[in-house]
Amino acid sequence: MEELNEKLKQIALWLFELTNSEKQTRKNILYENSNNNENWHSRILRMLLEYHENDSYPILDSFIDLLNKKSGLSINKVSNYTTHPRVECYNEWEHIDTLVRINNDALVIENKINWAVDQDAQIERYIKTIIQNPMIDGNNIYVIYLTSDGNKIVSDYSFTEEAKSLIGKNHFIPLNYLNDIFPWLKDEILPNVDIENKILYSSILVYIDYLENMFKNESDYQITNKIIEKMEEKGIEITSLKECFNLLDGATKLVNELNIIKEQKIKEIADTQIVTPLRLFLENKDKSLVLQKAEFNLGYFTIEITHPQWDKCYIHMGIWQYKNYGGFAYKNPNDPLPQDVLNNIRQKLTKISGGWRGDKNEPIWKYFDNDFKDYYHLDAWSKIGNGDFEKYIERFVNTIYDNIMDEKILI
């Protein structure tokens, strides 16, 4: 076992050195400003899918066309609805790489572009979570298993028999970047983007260039060959298939352990720097205020605050379209506040600051100020320790609370 661990450590060291060396040879500006991991590619995909022009989602609709072509299904596109549907796109919601919700349909996109290992019952957990909350029927859930080139196959211990029984037939759709996403972006999306929309056009063009270089260079194979050369040079030999599987198992366990440590560290930071002080603040503000929900991850957070007198609404904070926001949300969108009450609250809040918006589910909300908009990157987490983010949340809650508690009609 000790000899096996030494081999694993040596291979990991070479992989680290060669990967960093390979990064230095690439000149694509998109690559240089990325982490080139599943999260990065998932964020790009989410931003493309949520792009909209008024009530039209052309890239999302085109993506659904691609899914229908691959699977033989007829998943509803946004344009199929006679009234504008609720469209939501998330990264890392309940650890799902990308989640797209269109009314009562859910697209679960599991990104494996860098051959990340499957976790035990991973896809099963995702499906069960969506069935329970936001209560979407399994027959309306579609799982997209997105790999680099199609050579990685989902494992039975991730996409379990139970998981298969929970969703509809053919609702598991394998896609890959080489044969699906890359040609889709190049042949279907880019030619139909208005060249006057310079940001969108140039972003897609650069990403296509990045993917093209990635596959053209075949750098993963080059790195593998270099590692094999180094092993031969140093006299390190994998003597059997069993030893190869043992090494792979060791690497898988290492990745899983590091993911657990990452989540523990995030929880520790969130609990000590946000949740605990926020609970204390709410207790001092009004003992009836309840921190109903507080969940955090590297690319996701949500906070829900309730009060016994608030029959229809609760304070909600989270991430929408890649930015932090907050306001209050309906417990039941079909049981809204009277319009005059909403107008009165909005007028009060607008006197304090601008930018307030509203929709059917969250009648009054706004994006956080610029210093606190971004929550997706490691840099944002490293700044949480100074307490500024939590203090901003306190001020935000204060503003909303002070302007709704004096309403004669309880919210």
More confident residue, 13 or 218: 13
Handedness of CA 19, 20, 24, 26 (dihedral sign): positive
Answer with the one of 151, 172, 192 that is the final residue of a domain: 192
More confident residue, 85 or 127: 127
Q: What integer best gives the mean pLDDT of the chain?
A: 81
Q: Both 40 and 148 in a single domain?
A: yes
In a domain, 240, yes or no: no
Q: Both 137 and 283 in a single domain?
A: no
In a domain, 328, yes or no: yes
In a domain, 307, yes or no: yes
Q: What local confidence, expressed as pLDDT, does residue 380 receive?
A: 62
Structural contact between residues 362 and 372, judged by C-beta atoms closer than 8 angstroms: no
In a domain, 101, yes or no: yes
More confident residue, 85 or 19: 85
Q: Is 241 exposed, middle or buried (0-12, 13-18, 19+ CB in 10 A)?
A: exposed
Q: Both 393 and 270 in a single domain?
A: yes
pLDDT tier at 189 (50, 70, 90 boundaries)? very high
In a domain, 22, yes or no: no
What tens digit of pLDDT does each residue of 94-124 get? 889 999 999 999 999 999 998 887 888 899 9
The encoded tokens of residue 296 equal 């955090």
| Closest C-alpha among 376, 297, 320 to residue 89 | 320
**H or E stretch at 290:** strand 290-297
Contacts of 391 (CB under 8 A, 6+ apart): none
pLDDT-above-70 percentage for the chain: 77
Contacts 24+ apart (CB under 8 A), 52-59: 52/87, 55/84, 57/87, 58/192, 59/189
Q: Greatest CA span in the chain, whole angstroms?
A: 81
Average pLDDT over residues 134-153: 91
Give the residue numbers spanning the domain of 162: 34-192
The encoded tokens of residue 9 equal 């450590």
In a domain, 252, yes or no: no
What are φ and ψ of residue 325, in 5° steps? -150, 170
Q: Both 40 and 130 in a single domain?
A: yes
Contacts 24+ apart (CB under 8 A), 259-262: 259/119, 262/298
Residue position matching structure tokens 């390979």: 22
Q: Where are the beta strands (DSSP E) in 103-236?
A: 105-112, 141-147, 172-176
Structural contact between residues 158 and 127, judged by C-beta atoms closer than 8 angstroms: no
How many domains is the chain partitioned into structurally?
Answer: 2
pTM equals 0.53
Q: What local confidence, expressed as pLDDT, does residue 30 receive?
A: 46
